[in-house]
Structure 1
Amino acid sequence: MSTPQAGNALGASYRLVEHIGSGAVGDVWLAESTREDKTFAAKLLKSEHAHDADLVERFIRERSVLIGLRHPHIVAVRDLVVEGTTLAIVMDYIPGGTLRDLLASHGPLPAAEALMLTAQVFDALAEAHRQQVTHRDIKPDNVLLSQPWEPGHTDTVQVTDFGIASVVSARRRQTSGMLGTPQYMAPEIISHGHATSAADIYSTGVLLYELLAGRTPFDGPGTDFTVAYRHVTALPPELEIPRELWRALNDFLAKDPRDRPTAAEAAATLRRLEPKYRDLPPLPPADTTDDFAEIERPQTMLRSELLHETNVSPEMESPVAEQTPELGSAPQHTVLRPMPAHHVPEPSEDEDTEVSDEQLTWFTKKNILLGIAGIILLAAVVFGAIWLFTGDASEADDASDNEVEASQQDQPLPTGLSVERRASFDPETERITLEITYAAQHAPLSGQFFESIPATDPESSACPPVTWEGTTGRQHPSSSTGLSADCGWQLEGIEIPANDQTTVTASFPASVTDQEALSAWLDDAATATTTTLQDPDSSSTAYPVQRLQDIRVETPSRTVSQTPLPITLVPVWPSGEDEMNPLYQSPSSGSPSQMLQDVAGGEDGVRFSDSCAGAVAISSDGLTVTALSVAPECQLHASVGNFTSLQSSPFSITTRD
């Protein structure tokens, strides 16, 4: 999906309805299910993040964790859609707005209301932490209300955006950057560059402070780094609230992660305090200040041993950042920026003098004579080598002066794609020209294609600079496709008409000795391409024309007469079936998936046919099947592009109960 628009299909199960919000990681759309009468919120990963290997890999790897994270105060993730470069999290739609909206419309809240809302956030975190999931970006924007807020409402809070969480169990996880919102970052994120469950407690403490005061504790002038670093160096300005309530809030905002309570303990504390302050009026909005009281010896705060506590994983240690990162102007939005690399200091003047003295002592008379002798010997070796190779150059010159050619052809693929490669070497320009001809059988083929162009020298690790004609070629993005490749190229915009062919050309500087060497290189290039595309360990949906192995026609085991038959076309990749990303579903709504467009030319390449002796009816376009009469066992035939002999599993047709 290039630019999402209302009406676009999202995978095979959803259709985009309306854009409802944006964040650092993705755009949020209202989406409707094509299978049932339900509305969801779909967060589409932004294009600039779709090529972030860590983000994409994390979402895919944590699918079962995110979908399994269920709690009354957590927005439920229902599905994860992965289709080409589109990745989306489909979750429940919560219509009541956010705590950010609530603050904007009401200002500071009464203490009892703020405590009640925050306790529900801690309840959500307690369940997430129990499953070893950290949120990493708690703030009012990520706390939703199930209904428009009214004083006294309970059980209205639902925390969202666990889609960018990190699972911290089983193995060490350490970021090389900062993820979060500067106004809500825990001190250890600034100092260590990673987050733990204790950081969620701190961020929720900031949220409670904001609900009470109308602003975050360290809000003030300066860049977002200035704001973030105040979490490390400054004390939060005290609010005019009862001492017991301030002590609880101060515990959440403790600089030392060991001094913060767990989420469950924090929730219990707030529920104990809430009845005491039901008559406490809201505070007036707090003014922004730049007068912050600094803590003592901030330079010795927050070393890695601070992470050795019960509610923080002991595996999460990391060296303290040597430099303070430049983050830009202070935002309220999530930032994801790399931490600076460690800078190696320049040698001091004393070190320079010491090195120079060592260099001077080396230049003794003896060493100078040995050096001259070495130069003479080296010159003799060089001249001897030149004489040796030029004396026997006639044979090499004859080989390099001849233009040589080689060809290779792949076995036809299940999608109907055939590939033929022809390479030629021009000794005058010292370039190899590679013509790749893609041919289609019964159905048109299109989309992105993959080719590996390795170096002609087997001992060289450098990939040749390739110039493409007939297509747009760019370096293969392993991070977004999930396929590892050396010297890989992603070819864009290739279209092959049915029963026709398309040729693209690659050329690059190189040298080969003879036809046998060129043929061996061509075979290596074809093998490298096939090896990457047929990787059985990758669940990638990239390059479907080259990677799709089969299609399974899935129907329910039982259906009711006089109703449309639900049919799902499940793609089969080298790694196996992928039920999470169907190729097509009937009855359909919205635009066809990009995969279907690539391998079959869209819905025009899909047809279902009856093998139930008239027990079903097929629509005139061949896309919708309706059960008509009772039948103990039926099967459907289907054709999808070049897959012309597909057959469904058996199903029965019964009357309504």
Structure 2
Amino acid sequence: MQLAQTGEALGASYRFSGRVGSGAVGEVWTVTAAADGRTLAAKVLRPEHADDPSLVERFVRERSVLLALQDPQIVMVRDMVVEGPRLAIIMDYVPGGSLRDALQQEAGALRPEDALNVTAEVFDALAAAHARGVTHRDIKPDNVLLARPWSERGQGDVRVSDFGIADVVGERVRQTTGLIGTPQYMPPELISQGRSGPPGDVYSAGVLLYELLAGRTPFAGPGTDFSVAYRHVSAQPPRIPVTDAVWNMLDRLLAKDPDQRPTAREAASTLRRLAPGLAGAAPLARAEAPADFDDVERPATVVRGAFTAAELDAFAAAPQDDGEVPELGEAGSATIARPMPRREVRPPKAVRPPEEDTVPFWRTRKALLLAGTAVLLLAAMVVGFIVLSPAHQAAPQARGERLAAQLQDTALPTGLTVSRSATYEPSTGEVRLTVTYAAQKAPLSGDLLEVVPALAETDACPAVTWDGASAGRNQASITGLDIECGWKVSGLAIPAGGSTQVTAKVPLAPADQQGLDAWLRAGSEATRRAIQDPTVNGTAYPVQRLQNVEVRTPARVVTPSPLTITLIPVWASGADELNPLYVSPASGKPSQMFEAVSGGEKALRFSDACGGALAVDSSGLTVTALQISPQCTVRASVGNFTDLQSPPFSITSRENSVG
């Protein structure tokens, strides 16, 4: 049954043109915008979704999130239409077909270099979405579109679609502990735990890369959806004839443990590094399936209710190890959106071994002691119930709503700007914190301090799982900063005029939007107080703590001779003459502190501020006193500190100096 008709109006602004395709959650149509005649695409959701009031409410609430999800590699959502029983997401129309079409056009696999480059662009889109707290949950070739047909493709043509569908419809499914996705591409944690996040997207994109290289997905083959999905949990992907470096990357992407997979940003970088080495390599021949799949050592269990009883019975009855396994078939492309009924799990009754004597247990001394203890516990419970009743304590608020908050700090003197966004997902019971570090005029690097507080001051600091950088607890004995819940985030490189991100999973459940806002603000303020603490000495976290740079020279210089210039870091505690930032003329490599706040000597320049009495060499790093001058100064520019000037000094001749 079609959900629309050609020529029919969609809201007040669009009109249906032609049906493009259909899927598990709706149909895709081209629509014409009444305002300017543009051709757009509309995903019209099926009636069962439109009849769900909670989904409609979420649909409207998510509108701003999806409209803000803007990236060159993501199909942009332009509008949402809620009209009676009809829900539609209006998106850019991408005319070049999908990667599924490209695979069919190439009759199997793509050239390895093309496969890696295309998948790198998919990871770019995922990285942008993950940074905004949005997970796709259904990555597959059908949802990767091309701006131009495959035969005319170029760099930057990839567009990942259906982010909105996965996020909106997926929430409805998850509310009943369910699954959404395509069995050929489902991450194992979705099958074994019933939930998935950004690492699940990385896994699905790894399956996509495998398919682009091999012409088939790693676990494709005969059987039901369950048969295919369970292989993600229980089997290792068959090796394909690619280089060791490419296979090692595939192996990481397809790791059973989500924590062992790279982030989307890391994956994109690695694939781009490997792609040039595959230039000229021909597509792989479609390989035969192995006789059987290699089992993992400890396969996970499968979430009950994820598949129907008939599917489970068919899987149990089918021979799993006997006989030859045929060649893996085409990858399935049908998304399933399957709720899983909650089942009450009752613990098994304890079985007591028979007593050697014939005395009934209830008459034994042990039974009497247990009974007495039970009476005391029951009395304590009654008292506790009275004390903790609503008359004495307010009931906790429900925490079933997805929350999001954002906060941006003012720029620091080094040019560092920190933006934080937090998303609370009730399905996982976690807050996903995304910290974006941006640099202005100079690249920045080194360790950064990030405070991740508890929800309440009386709570212990939460456990944090970091992604995108290595991180460890701040050690006051080393850094000099005695800050509660502080983390040292290491290994970051922030390009000039660019940004980099790290994410953290924090097991917290804020009560409401106000609670999440307060928690995010508390972390920002605690970090600011720590880096601006005037009692702290030392050189830790220079990118955040450096307040200024002083240019020091000798009070008198003899001509002609090099001018010794020392750059002194200024912290909140004052100038630090014991740990100079840089000394010119330089000998040896610059300090790590200097590299961290400027990116190296290329960001340092000296200039003459006394009318030609000083000569600066072509590198801008060495200054020579040439002419006598009673009062002279030298200017400096280092990283984001661009208007520095020394105190006055005099230049004298050697004879005057001796005299």
Q: TM-score, structure 2 length as denominator?
A: 0.48
Structure possessing the higher relative contact order (Cα contacts under 8 Å, 6 or more residues apart): 1
Q: TM-score, structure 1 length as denominator?
A: 0.48
